[in-house]
Amino acid sequence: MKLTILGGGGFRVPLVYGALLGDRGEGRVTDVVLHDLDQGRLSAVARVLAEQAAAHPDAPTVTATTDLDDALRGADFIFSAIRVGGLEGRAADERVALDQGVLGQETVGAGGIAYGLRTVPVVVDIAQRVARLAPDAWLINFTNPAGLVTEAMSRHLGDRVIGICDSPVGLGRRIARVLGANPREAWIDYVGLNHLGWVRGLHVAGRDELPRLLADTDLLGSFEEGKLFGTDWLQSLGAIPNEYLHYYYFNREAVRAYSQAEKTRGAFLRDQQAGFYEEMSRPDSAALTAWDRTRAEREATYMSENRESAGAGERDADDLSGGYEKVALALMRAIARDERTTLILNVRNQGTLTALDADAVIEVPCLVDANGAHPVAVAPLPDHATGLVCAVKAVEREVLAAAASGSRATAVKAFALHPLVDSVNVARNLVDGYTAVHPGLAYLK
């Protein structure tokens, strides 16, 4: 079984490789191919993987290449985890937005649109190559903005592309934990778009336990989302939103916190990672130790501005060990070995949310088996959530249209229609600002 990882020089690749090392089952991945545009980053990550593999006699082999077509040929699974424009690009996405007084987060608001506009043309090219060179492969998309990118690729790969995100999984796990339920036995009623979804129920043995949580203020205030959103607001909503909804429900506070931060998240990670890759270029450095230290610092500071503005304090120790790689492995196993399971994934709507068309990629629990991921029926969203989902999906469609046509006016429309961009003039300034700093947006005319 051959797994190709696009963005193979990326910082989170060792998480995936670590999960593969823990998989002892029949039909597991035996060959890993790392693809990246940057040979230096590939060598750095390969060093970490080699140290991880040292104690495992039957570890998957690792090869690295900068030739995309070579990497794709013969792949059974392809993980796409690329970052077009790098972390410097992410920092620029934040800065240009904050200069206009709006949010520049990598996936939400103006920053997410800018990131989407430069990523879509690249992933469309990848999808077309996959369709040609590895038509039977499954493409698992981690590349952000994950919902939009998955939809762009689905136009070429149909249901063979599946988007993943660890945030709904983490949310479900936290709710199950405070309710004393086993996350494996719980059915989580969650739906929306990537980074824009709500948990409306958590059913154990046919009984919805969420009302018990919503009624108990102490319990509700004891975990991440309770601290971030406040118990009153969760009780008013009657649901637990994905943490990324903090940028919507508390937008003003989030923008203020991001503007006042010493460094934006993108700038912090840019500098942190530059240090790590620099360290890896020294032959005597301990690769795995350096990687793990850098990872721990990254996880501890995740969404720290949001938590600070809400007075939510430090992250819970149980929330630090991601889950990103676990979702990826569970999905791959379910498909490759027909191990039927339920996972929250980004797939085409196919009638699940009646307000959206069949091809709109949504985030929803799916039954997964050898035939792929099939969205399951969920309760309808309340009107305010449907409104947000439709507004953001309309923005995503403008991004896809702008990427296809190269129209600057369509790009302006994408920004202007976003609920977190409050004026058409701001949208125009954003397009001017982003095209001035991003060579990857030169196609907008």
Nearer to ligand G6P, 4 or 167 (CB): 167
Residue 266 or 372: the one with the smaller Cβ distance to ligand G6P is: 266
CA distances from 78 to 330, 337, 355 (A): 14, 16, 31
Q: Among 159-167, 231-239, 366-374, 419-427, which window interacts with ligand G6P (CB under 6 A)?
A: 159-167
Burial (0-12, 13-18, 19+ Cβ within 10 Å), 314: exposed
Stretch touching Mn ion by CB under 5 A, among 158-166, 172-180, 231-239, 293-301: 158-166
Beta-carbon contacts of 352 under 8 Å, excluding residues fewer than 6 positions away, are 191, 362, 364, 375, 376, 377, 378
Question: For residue 283, what are its two tokens?
Answer: 């032959």
Query: Is the Cβ of residue 120 or residue 416 nearer to Mn ion in the bound state?
Result: 120
What 8-state DSSP symbol labels residue 144?
S
Nearest to ligand G6P of 167, 294 (CB atom)? 167
Report in angstroms how near the CB of residue 296 gets to ligand G6P at its nearest.
Answer: 12
Which tokens hold the place of 396?
């995503």
Interaction mask 52-91, Mn ion, x per CB under 5 A = ----------------------------------------
* 302 counts as binding ligand G6P under rule CB under 6 A: yes
Alpha-carbon span 326 to 19, nearest angstrom: 7
CB of 325 to Mn ion, least distance (A): 13
Q: Which of 28, 265, 270, 393 binds ligand G6P (CB under 6 A)?
A: 265
User: Shortest gap between Cβ of 111 and ligand G6P (angstroms)?
Assistant: 12
Which of residues 291 and 324 has its CB atom nearest to ligand G6P in the complex?
324
State which residue has the least CB distance to ligand G6P: 167
Minimal distance in Å, beta carbon 4 to Mn ion? Answer: 21
Contact 362, 196 (CB under 8 A): no
Query: Is 38 near ligand G6P (CB under 6 A)?
Result: no
- Site residues for Mn ion, 243-282, by CB under 5 A, read none
By the 8 A CB rule, do 310 and 229 touch?
yes
Q: Does 166 bind ligand G6P (CB under 6 A)?
A: yes
Query: Per rule CB under 5 A, is residue 48 in the interface with Mn ion?
Result: no
If contact means CB under 5 to 8 A according to the sort of partner, which of ligand G6P, Mn ion, none does residue 265 touch?
Answer: ligand G6P
Residue 165 in the binding site for Mn ion (CB under 5 A): yes
The stretch near Mn ion (CB under 5 A) out of 1-9, 161-169, 264-272, 326-334 is 161-169
Determine contact, residues 171/111, Cβ cutoff 8 Å.
no
Binding of residue 246 to ligand G6P (CB under 6 A): no
Cα 27 to Cα 265: distance, rounded to the nearest angstrom: 39
Pick from ligand G6P, Mn ion, none: which does 430 bind, CB < 5 to 8 A by kind?
A: none
Question: Quick one: how far is CA 277 from the chain centroid?
Answer: 23
Helices of type H across 264-407: 265-280, 287-300, 304-309, 324-337, 383-405
Cβ proximity of 113 and 395 under 8 Å:
yes
Comparing CB distances to ligand G6P, the nearer of 143 and 435 is: 143
Single-letter code of the amino acid located at 425: N
Say if CB 79 and CB 33 are below 8 A apart.
Answer: no
Nearer CB in complex with Mn ion: 5/336 = 5
Return the SS3 of 43: helix
Among 44, 137, 153, 165, binds ligand G6P (CB under 6 A): 165
Instruction: Quote the CA–CA distance of 10 and 40 in Å, as a whole number.
Output: 11
The residue (of 165 and 416) whose beta carbon lies closer to Mn ion is 165
Region of 216 please: left (phi>0), alpha (psi -120 to 50) or beta. beta
Examine residue 144 and tell whether it contacts ligand G6P (CB under 6 A).
Answer: yes
Is the peptide bond preceding residue 145 cis, with omega within 30 degrees of 0? yes
Pick out residues in 270-299 that bind ligand G6P (CB under 6 A). 298
Report, in Å, the least distance between residue 48 CB and ligand G6P.
17
Please choose, out of 157-165, 368-376, 404-412, 432-440, the segment that lies near Mn ion by the rule CB under 5 A: 157-165
Q: Which residue has the tokens 């949001």?
A: 306
| Binding segment toward ligand G6P, per CB under 6 A, in 117-125, 163-171, 183-191, 373-381 | 163-171
From 16-24, 58-66, 165-173, 347-355, span contacting Mn ion (CB under 5 A): 165-173
Q: Does 328 help bind Mn ion (rule: CB under 5 A)?
A: no
Residue-wise DSSP of 364-388 = EEEEEETTEEEEPP-PPPPHHHHHH
* Residue 277, both tokens: 């890759």
Residue whose entry in the numeric block shows the structure tokens 């790689």: 325
Question: Considering just the CA atoms, what is the radius of gyration of the chain in Å?
Answer: 21
Report yes or no: 243 and 167 within 8 Å, Cβ to Cβ.
yes
**Interface residues toward ligand G6P, by CB under 6 A:** 144, 165-167, 265, 269, 298, 302, 324
Q: Which residues bind Mn ion (CB under 5 A)?
A: 165
